[in-house]
């Protein structure tokens, strides 16, 4: 298993390019100065970027290379899901130590590739740089959406139902368990929470199913925890969001984790957690049909709040909780 130092940048890039699946709409692919891509007629493009930094966003012992790649893809896919965009093309920029194993690098890319491919996207370009400290993996992802159809954070209006997919807080609970229990968190009883943290799924299928209904007025993905991301939607939409804490989905795993960690379950539900679920503002009276459309793609969707005149997040039935700030915490 050769190291990057031994094979060199150009050979490593060639191996990476050879291993990639071809994408659709690619006029000129990897290997030229840039990739040339053909968006569909009447489509707008949707662009996001997010990075995974060793030691900061993942603990190497908890995330094998393919899962790192999958997670990197998911972080970016989730942004496109929140805009109701179809993922199409990605560039992968990597800062790697010279002792990085070439096979591990190929596995990392495979994780990205295999997460993107079923959703219709492919890696079309990239960059490789030697670093000395922590490694970093940076993805830029381009999607497409019909002109004017993208969801925004700012579209919620007073009266809208605020719905959330899945059960927020599970990823944060998994991370806290891994930090607290170390190897003990590999116990099967924590398996599903640990997996929610290690291997989140972006809600592309959900937004694809809901876009045609026309009932979604605003969306944001859950990357910092329910409290922080509800606050963002409230601010962007200039509405108050009145949360009914009693309406949060029942989740025995979170209750068990809270007991184990000696904290309130509400702190797990509302606090820092990158679940990559979606928060949606749904037109009044459309919540049940939307929940049915979601269940057809295997996703549960719960009304947890209403938008109202005013500002900020109003909590009913429990305490507030702060989001997570990478620099100040």
Return the residues of window 71-100 that contact a second copy according to CB under 8 A. Answer: 78-80, 82-83, 85, 89, 91-93, 95, 98
Stretch in the footprint of a second copy (CB under 8 A) among 151-159, 178-186, 244-252, 314-322 = 151-159
Q: Can residue 166 be called a binding residue for a second copy (CB under 8 A)? A: no
**Minimum CB distance to a second copy smaller for 167 or for 207:** 207
Torsion angle defined by CA atoms of residues 25, 115, 68 and 66, in that order, rounded to the nearest 10 degrees: -100
**Looking at 120-128, 261-269, 288-296, 311-319, which segment touches a second copy (CB under 8 A)?**
120-128
Contact 203, 276 (CB under 8 A): yes
Residue 217 host element (H or E): strand 216-221
Q: Please give the residues from 130 up to 149 whose contact with a second copy meets the rule CB under 8 A.
A: 130-134, 136, 138, 140, 142-143, 145, 147-148
- Kindly indicate which of the ranges 54-62, 163-171, 250-258, 292-300 contains the residues binding a second copy, using the contact rule CB under 8 A: 54-62
Q: Which of residues 168-187 bind a second copy (CB under 8 A)?
A: none
The 8-class DSSP code of residue 106 comes to H
Cβ atoms of residues 284 and 183 within 8 Å: no
2-31 residues in contact with a second copy (CB under 8 A) are: 4-10, 12, 27-28, 31
Determine the longest span between alpha carbons in the chain, in angstroms.
Answer: 62
Give the one residue of 108, 162, 164, 220 binding a second copy; rule: CB under 8 A.
220
Cα–Cα nearest to 275, from 305, 299, 310, 259: 299
Nearer to a second copy, 110 or 152 (CB): 152
At residue 25, the 3 state secondary structure works out as coil
The residue from 211, 219, 272, 294 that contacts a second copy (CB under 8 A) is 219
* Buried b or exposed e, range 84-98, using 16+ CB within 10 angstroms: bbbbbbbbbbbbbbe
In the block, which residue shows the tokens 């719905």? Answer: 163
Among 55, 182, 184, 212, binds a second copy (CB under 8 A): 55
**Six token digits for residue 240:** 């108050």
End-to-end CA distance of the chain: 39
Which of 71/257 has CB closer to a second copy? 71
Based on CB atoms, which residue is closest to a second copy, 66 or 125?
A: 125
Give the nearest distance from C-beta 112 to a second copy in angstroms: 14
């Amino acid at each position: 298993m050769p190291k990057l130092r031994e094979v060199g940048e150009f050979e490593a890039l060639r191996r990476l390019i050879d291993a990639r699946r071809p994408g659709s709409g690619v006029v000129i692919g990897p290997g030229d100065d840039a990739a040339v891509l053909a968006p569909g007629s009447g489509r707008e493009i949707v662009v996001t970027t997010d990075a995974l930094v060793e030691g900061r966003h993942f603990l190497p012992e908890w995330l094998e290379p393919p899962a790192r790649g999958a997670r990197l893809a998911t972080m970016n896919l989730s942004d496109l899901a929140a805009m109701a965009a179809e993922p199409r093309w990605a560039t992968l920029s990597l800062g790697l130590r010279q002792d990085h194993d070439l096979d591990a690098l190929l596995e990392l890319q495979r994780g990205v590739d295999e997460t993107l491919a079923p959703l219709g996207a492919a890696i079309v370009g990239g960059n490789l740089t030697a670093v000395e400290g922590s490694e970093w993996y940076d993805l830029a992802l381009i999607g497409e959406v019909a002109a004017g159809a993208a969801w925004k954070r700012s579209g919620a209006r007073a009266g809208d139902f605020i719905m959330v997919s899945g059960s927020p807080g599970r990823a944060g609970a998994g991370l806290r368990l891994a930090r607290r229990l170390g190897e003990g968190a590999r116990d099967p009883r924590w398996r599903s929470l640990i997996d929610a943290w290690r291997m989140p799924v972006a809600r592309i299928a959900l937004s694809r199913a809901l876009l045609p209904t026309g009932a979604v007025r605003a969306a944001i993905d859950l990357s910092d925890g329910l409290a922080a991301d509800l606050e963002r939607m409230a601010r962007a939409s200039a509405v108050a969001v009145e949360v009914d804490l009693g309406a949060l989905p029942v989740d025995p795993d979170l209750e068990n984790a809270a007991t184990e960690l000696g904290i309130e379950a509400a702190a797990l539900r509302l606090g820092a957690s990158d679940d990559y679920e979606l928060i949606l503002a749904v037109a009044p009276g459309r919540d049940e049909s939307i929940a049915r459309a979601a269940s057809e793609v295997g996703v549960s969707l719960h009304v947890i709040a209403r938008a109202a005149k005013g500002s900020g997040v109003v909590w009913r039935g429990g305490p507030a909780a702060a989001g997570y700030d990478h620099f100040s915490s």
